[in-house]
Amino acid sequence: MSLVTENQPDGTPTWIDLGIPDLDRAMSFYGALFGWEFEVGPPEFDRYTTCLLRGEPVAALAQNPEPGADRFWWNVYFATADCDQTAERITAAGGTLVDEPADVMDQGRLAIARDPTGAQFGLWQGRKHIGARLVNEPGSLVRNDLVTPDPGPARAFYAEVFGFTLDGNPDMPEFDFTFLRRPDGHEIGGIMGLPPGSGTSWSTTFEVDNTDAALQRAVAAGGTAGEVQDMIYGRFAQITDPFGVEFSVIARP
């Protein structure tokens, strides 16, 4: 278990949220899957709803602000001590800003960007809200990885923006996978190269205590379970929620 009590170092995945067309249906699904409870926000903020694990925020759900959208995904936000300066580095490194830095009341400062491969991500400069307060335990975020058919520009971009070091993965030589590490050596995720023609996005993986049991809960709640894989890092599987959102779960050794 990891309890987070202050803002994470720059470049650390610090928050995730999901916009979907039916908030009540989403709460039913993710509550059944992860045991989350929910604190529903006001209508003027798309009922932005905090997902709680043992009373601590771990993620958020919101009514999708763009009706008619045909693609939904978990959004990842990287911690930054200065949202504006990091946004400047993003554009200098070849990325684009979808939403310029702006204050979110007294909660923090936010920006939304796309990297040169088209993957969207956010920046979060925490103030009152520091991000997820529980990570790396069942029912919470354990990692994010960029999957893209163009890993070269992605590696250069994130190294320039966040100062990440890039390390290969000798444990899985059959994959084009690069670890991303903060300057202090802490691994924050990775970049997975895919075949040409594949999509590009940041993937989200949640920890569970039992992968097979989690898949059963997902299917019973209206989701779809992918094939289970036993990897060196644990028992892994992909789940698709009732809205077509794909994410992964893993039970680590």
pLDDT of residue 15: 98
pLDDT of residue 44: 74
Matching residue, tokens 């604190």: 39
pLDDT, one tens digit per residue, over 152-201 is 999 999 999 999 999 988 877 778 999 999 999 999 999 999 988 888 99
**Position 164: which residue type?**
F
Mean pLDDT (whole number) for 20-34: 95
Angle at 55 between CA 49 and CA 58, to 5 degrees: 55
Question: In the predicted model, is pLDDT for residue 96 greater than 70?
Answer: yes
Q: Under a CB-based contact definition with an 8 Å cutoff, are residues 93 and 101 in contact?
A: no
Mean pLDDT (whole number) for 112-135: 97
Distances (CA, A) of 196 to 76, 114, 149, 166, 221: 24, 19, 5, 22, 34
Share of the chain above pLDDT 70, in %: 97
Matching residue, tokens 């009706």: 67
Mean pLDDT across the chain: 94
**Position 137: which residue type?**
E
Count of helices and strands (H, E) across the chain: 4, 19
How far is Cα 107 from Cα 130, in angstroms, rounded to an integer? Answer: 8
Mean pLDDT (whole number) for 141-153: 96
pLDDT of residue 234: 96
Per-domain residue ranges for the chain?
2-134
pLDDT of residue 168: 86
pLDDT, one tens digit per residue, over 41-81 is 877 777 899 999 999 999 999 987 565 555 678 999 999 99
Span 2-134: which CATH code? 3.10.180.10
